Amino acid sequence: MERDVSLWTVDQLKIASGGVVVARPAWATGASPGVRIEGVSIDSRSVVDGQVFVAIRGENFDGHDFLGQACEAGAAVLIVDREDVALPGSDAGPRGRGCVVIRVQDTRRALLRLASAYRRTLGQCKVIAVCGSNGKTSTVRIIESVLSQRFRGSASKKSHNNDIGVPLTILAAKATDQFLICEVGTNAPGEIATLGAVVEPEIGVITSIGREHLEKLRDLAGVAREESAILAHVRPGGLGVITGDSPELDAIVGDGARYGGCGVLRFGRDQRADLRLTGCEHAMVTTPEGVATPGLRFEVNGRTRFELPMEGEHNACNAMCAIGVARRLGMDDEAIAAGLLAVRPAQMRWERREVAFGSGTITLINDAYNANPDSMIASIRTFEATCPGRRRVFVMGDMFELGEASEQGHRDVGRAIAQGGGLGVMIAVGPSAAIAGAAYREALAGAQVVSVPELDQGAIERVVAMIEPGDAVLLKGSRRARLERLGEALIGRGGGPATEVIVAEAARAGVEGVAGRRKI
């Protein structure tokens, strides 16, 4: 992790973490420590000189087992919560200087406390929290690209949105940053409130309300209650930029009066939205580097047009969210438009590539980072719109954490496939995906479905054997399904991406093939 946190003192760390100092080497006994303390890490392999190492316990590791390595790598301070752990000697580490050791009740909680203390020092930085059922990571990337046209700042890496990822995102911010974007996730009631109290955003974003984590959030109303909790932590005079397409969220938020000085701006398809999507079409767009790529042209409030190098109408809504944030921070539409065209999608979020395969090519779309019923259906609709006139192969993995709504959610996906006119073939990976396949067959006569109990090596080879040159292949499932392994096998079988045909194939699919850039 980069050394971006400004100078800490031992006493500041003790107070901020809520701990007690149990080891203080000579260099840390004076009013001015002899070692510059800056930066926080939870990975002993990436520790650099002067950092604070927080020993986090996870499912497969315990940071307390690596205190010696962290000290030798240059950690100046170790934060621990185990009393039975052996501590490095007073002469350990670079030049035998030793490490300060602070013991806390819970290192995960201490990490949050450190982030909370540091966030309050970011006086010139506008902090944006991005919540929502779907599209959080994509929206973070879009907002970051747009704001970077005018401001300096940083954003969450990958999908670092839990009680470890959020504080690390904050602690990585520079004191000179003008913006910081934190992705904030949840899978149980109360998690957004806990993280929101640390982030204290000037702008709180809610991208969407969908059927996520129903095992604990129960229903859409429960999801809306959880996601709306971020608005209670927006700083006075701040703004909530929220989807206008959720009746459940609208019933909770209303005019925003319950959130004190927080205003509310809605975006979406609903007629009452402040930023309303009034037109959207798939088309080839040209990036700042002059590369033609499949994307979107969309219209806001019937008058302003933008382009985005990402497919799917849901991404137009994510982009409108970014427009709302950027306008709030004083950006003009010309700069916003430039930032939208410069967006680079996150990994495994509709990653589209042309891959050499057999005597020709296939279009491989990896959208397999995660899934719930609503994101699954949005992905299917985009697949239908952007890959017409070809055999479409949909590889669906199980959707997890849906609780009692799991069977119905999977059946809804199967019916949605049938409503769109069907596929060349659906390959259902896992027992729950098989429920979606059965619903698809029930709803559409002649539907071709192949069920695979699990994606072991033998199953991967069988699925690869089903693919034919010219196919369009979509991978979509929850993270635990690990469908990207199939994508790797398809690329390996073909010898890698067919870079020489990407632009030509994309042009045919994006312009000629989509019914003259039809509306979706």
Q: Is the dihedral of CA 197, 199, 204, 207 positive or negative?
A: negative
Count H helices and E strands in the chain, helices first: 17, 20
In tens, the pLDDT along 260-269 reads 778 999 999 9
**Cα–Cα distance measured from residue 123 to residue 120, given in angstroms and rounded to the nearest whole number:** 7
Give ranges for CATH 3.40.1390.10 in the chain.
10-110
Tell me what pLDDT residue 216 has: 87
pLDDT at position 518 is 23
Supply the DSSP string of 228-291, one letter for each residue: HGGGGGSPTT-EEEEESS-HHHHHHHTTSGGGTT-EEEEEESSTT-SEEEEEEEEEEEE-TTS-
Q: What pLDDT sits at residue 512?
A: 26
User: Tokens 């069977």 correspond to what residue?
Assistant: 407
The dotted CATH code for 351-501 is 3.90.190.20
CATH code of 10-110, in short, is 3.40.1390.10
Question: Which residue from 501, 507, 513 is spatially nearest to 285, judged by alpha carbons?
Answer: 507
- Residue with token string 């939208």: 340
User: Which architecture does CATH list for 122-341?
Assistant: 3-Layer(aba) Sandwich (3.40)
pLDDT score for 31? 60
Q: Within 13 A of 481's CA, how many CA atoms are on the CB side?
A: 32
DSSP structure class, residue 508: I
Looking up tokens 């609780």 gives: 403
Q: Is the pLDDT of residue 496 over 70?
A: no
Q: Reading across the β-sheet that carries 100-103, which strands appear in turn?
A: 20-23, 100-103, 77-80, 52-54, 40-41
- C-alpha to C-alpha distances, 98 to 24, 91, 101, nearest whole angstrom: 8, 5, 9
Q: Rounded CA gap, 183 and 105, in Å?
A: 26
pLDDT digits (tens, 9 = 90+) for 267-309: 999 999 999 999 999 999 999 999 899 999 999 999 999 999 9
* Main-chain phi, psi angles of 510, to 5 degrees: -85, -25
Predicted confidence (pLDDT) at residue 505 exceeds the cutoff of 80: no
Residue range 4-25, pLDDT digits in tens? 555 688 999 999 999 999 999 9
CA–CA distance, 144 with 157 (Å, rounded to integer)? 11
Where are the CATH 3.90.190.20 domain residues in the chain?
Answer: 351-501
| pLDDT at res. 499 | 38
Between 462 and 506, residue with greater pLDDT: 462
The 10s digit of each residue's pLDDT in 112-147 is 999 999 999 998 999 999 999 999 999 999 999 999
- Residue 366: Cβ within 10 Å count: 23
Question: Residue 229: is its pLDDT beyond 50?
Answer: yes
